[in-house]
Structure 1
Amino acid sequence: MKLTHLWPFGVVGLIIAYTQISHNALFTTLGSLTNSRPVSPEDSAVRYTVADLKVDTTLFTQPRPVATLTDASLVEASGLAPSPTSPGYLWTQEDSGNANQIQLLTKTGDVSARYILDGLINRDWEDIATGPGPVAGKSYVYVAEIGDNDFKYAQKIIYRFIEPTITGKKLPVTEHITSVDALRFKLPDGPQNAEAFLLDPLTKDLFIFSKGNYSTVYRASYPQPVNQPTMMTRVLTLPFEKVTAASVSSDGSEILLRTYKKLVYYKRHSRESVVDALKREPLLIPLADEPQGEAVCWAGDGSGYYTTSERTFFTTQKLYFYQRKK
């Protein structure tokens, strides 16, 4: 019998030994099984376990389907972001192998505009965000080229450009984006797969969340050099399996982090850093049962949040809204 046939028994043994080893040691062992970096004590400040999280039903309503995404060219929505320049609209992008474009959605799920990012290839665009950038008073779109299922790419790239507007234009719009900043990053522990990132609207720092049996959080402080690879800083490890999306409210006070099946909520205190907010135990909040949920974002007016899933052969692609209760 080949030794590789014994690995399932080893995993069972790890689970049985959970009570005999430390929380950090368990993460370290799981990391070695998934080709991820072992966790070091200095960045393991989070001590809760997902099973112990408190479920909150007082802040937001249960999911309400508000649209079905029926556009034939939009089947793998992998990110959502509110549009500051077109209130009520949502930006989305597709992931690996799809066109090098982003779409602007109405609340009813129609594609009102497409913008092609000239000269770029969609190797694996996994998330999207909007917020401030280098020019004061301007809104920017950030597209995250961070997917890496095979752990083979040395750099993460976040594309940044001034948000286009549909004001005064006949819909649907199809236009090209010709001026794009490429923010290039390396991770201190080598190539990692990731599908979620955050832009802190208060500091303009960028955060990437790895995807695996746990999530390592990396930070790039503002200002980030353009077209020059810089090393991100590993700041935290979170006990969430397969993180697929993240979002922060426009005022920076609320953070969402989702996996395929769970959504957690953090309230950020005044003058508190994103990292310090993420160190606290979050709340579990409502999330629709989506077939492959990889997108979440706050509504631009703070009235709630949206989620959607990639389309599968057997399901439609619905857009859900969760109304704030208070």
Structure 2
Amino acid sequence: MKLTHLWPVVGIGLIIACNQISHNTLFTRLSLLVNLQPAPPKDSTVRYGVEALKVDTTLFEKPRLVNTLTDPSLIEASGLAPSRTNPGYLWTQEDSGNPNQIQLLTKTGDIAGQYILDGLVNHDWEDIATGPGPVAGKTYIYLAEIGDNNFKYPEKIIYRFPEPSITGKKLPVKEHIAKVDVLRFKLSDGAQNAEAMLLDPIKKDLFILSKGRYSTVYLAPYPQRINQPTLMTRMLTLPFEKVTAAAISGDGSEILIRTYKKLFYYTRQPHESVIDALKREARLIPLADEPQGEAVCWASDGSGYYTTSERTFFSTQKLYFYPRKQ
């Protein structure tokens, strides 16, 4: 139904609002409505025509359906990460409004484990990663509390804890995780919405990628402080609209950044930083037509990558795999 007859009422309401609140307050509220971001610094903006990119089909196969995720305890998968401790399995988490738990999926997308993070609240968990941490030889899970649709949270939080093993346990495993490192960050230009995180498996640096009309990349070098806010540095601005997930391969040589409808691929040279790799033009690679795609990760053996989408009122939630071409 069209509501054009309400525009005079809306106009009167805006005039009244302007008389009742300051110009700064009004600008802030309008900014939230149109999802404004600070202007990207010219010297850190990567420029090329994203719309002109064609899908490169020489590297990876078209999506293969692994399974439809039908378990009622998992309806809004917002992140994926390969298990290093349990090869072949995948970690996933849900975002705002869902329980404070992460789940372990089998190769066929069935739930093999549910782990409740004691004492934590899922305000908006948006991404998940696995990789090295403070203890050499041990694999950690990094859980990103970084969503902020209303630009109201002064800090981003990444939870870090050792990856659990299911070896010798009856499936599905149901356990609690009590000890979690809390890594707190402030962004150099204030509150931003974000849904994507990168963990560099070589240097153990952490990156957050904002979600908006373009994507700003923020860096927190290793080691990150525990329980004390660290200022993340604004490093780079990418020409991608609505970034929802990101991932780095286990050897650190390949990077994926996804939006709802596109997946961008980078290669990283030996001794090259993540930021320098992202300065090159990305390649567009295959991505399934997902209703609300918010997750991507590499397979633990590097044989390809996975994606999935949140379930919607009109669609199911499917897990896809994209094999690497030989």
Q: TM-score, normalised by structure 2?
A: 0.90
Q: Which residue of 1 aligns with 2:36?
A: 35
Q: Which residue of 1 aligns with 2:117?
A: 117
Q: Which residue of 1 aligns with 2:265?
A: 265
Q: Which residue of 1 aligns with 2:18?
A: none
Q: CA separation in 1, counterparts of 2:109 and 2:54? A: 32
SS at match of 1:198: strand
1:48-59 matches, within 5 Å, as 48-59=48-59
Q: Which residue of 2 aligns with 1:163?
A: 163
Cα pair distance change 1:174/1:49, threshold 3 Å? same
8 Å CA contact 1:31–1:37 kept in 2: the answer is no
Q: CA separation in 2, counterparts of 1:34 and 1:125? A: 20
1:141-220 matches, within 5 Å, as 141-220=141-220
Letter of the structure 2 residue corresponding to residue 129 of structure 1: A
Letter of the structure 1 residue corresponding to residue 43 of structure 2: E
Q: CA separation in 1, counterparts of 2:53 and 2:271? A: 25
8 Å CA contact 2:32–2:150 kept in 1: the answer is no
Q: CA separation in 2, counterparts of 1:177 and 1:259? A: 31
Shift of 1:34: 2.5
1:282 aligns to 2:282 (yes or no): yes
Question: Can you list the C-alpha shifts for 1:15-73, whole angstroms capped at 9, x where unaligned?
Answer: xxxxxxxxxxxxxxx999523111122222x1212113242101000011011111111
Question: Can you list the C-alpha shifts for 1:162-182, whole angstroms capped at 9, x where unaligned?
Answer: 000000101110000011000
SS at match of 1:51: helix
Q: CA separation in 1, counterparts of 2:127 and 2:314? A: 24
8 Å CA contact 1:53–1:281 kept in 2: the answer is no
SS at match of 1:257: strand
Query: Percent identical across equivalent pairs?
Result: 74
Letter of the structure 1 residue corresponding to residue 80 of structure 2: L
Q: CA separation in 1, counterparts of 2:55 and 2:198? A: 23
Q: CA separation in 1, counterparts of 2:115 and 2:96? A: 17
SS at match of 1:313: coil
SS at match of 1:275: helix
SS at match of 2:166: coil
The unaligned stretches of length 5 or more in structure 2 are 1-6, 12-30
Q: Which residue of 1 aligns with 2:16?
A: none
Q: Which residue of 2 aligns with 1:315?
A: 315
Q: CA separation in 1, counterparts of 2:79 and 2:209? A: 14
Shift of 1:108: 1.0
Q: Which residue of 2 aligns with 1:299?
A: 299
SS at match of 2:47: coil
Q: CA separation in 2, counterparts of 1:33 and 1:124? A: 20
1:98 aligns to 2:104 (yes or no): no
8 Å CA contact 1:32–1:38 kept in 2: the answer is no
The unaligned stretches of length 5 or more in structure 1 are 6-29
Q: CA separation in 1, counterparts of 2:52 and 2:253? A: 24
Q: TM-score, normalised by structure 1?
A: 0.90
Q: CA separation in 2, counterparts of 1:167 and 1:32? A: 48
Letter of the structure 2 residue corresponding to residue 272 of structure 1: E
1:220-231 matches, within 5 Å, as 220-231=220-231
1:137 aligns to 2:129 (yes or no): no
Q: CA separation in 2, counterparts of 1:219 and 1:31? A: 24
SS at match of 1:126: strand
Q: CA separation in 2, counterparts of 1:149 and 1:314? A: 23
8 Å CA contact 1:70–1:109 kept in 2: the answer is no
Q: CA separation in 2, counterparts of 1:151 and 1:314? A: 29
Q: Which residue of 1 aligns with 2:241?
A: 241
RMSD: 1.7
Question: Can you list the C-alpha shifts for 1:182-237, whole angstroms capped at 9, x where unaligned?
Answer: 00000011000000000000000000000000000000000000000010000000
**Which deviates more from structure 2 when the two are superposed, residues 120-129 or residues 50-59?**
50-59
Q: CA separation in 2, counterparts of 1:289 and 1:165? A: 33
Q: CA separation in 2, counterparts of 1:153 and 1:67? A: 36
Cα pair distance change 1:98/1:283, threshold 3 Å? same
Cα pair distance change 1:57/1:91, threshold 3 Å? same
Q: CA separation in 1, counterparts of 2:273 and 2:52? A: 24
8 Å CA contact 1:183–1:226 kept in 2: the answer is yes
Letter of the structure 1 residue corresponding to residue 291 of structure 2: P
Q: Matched residue pairs, number?
A: 301
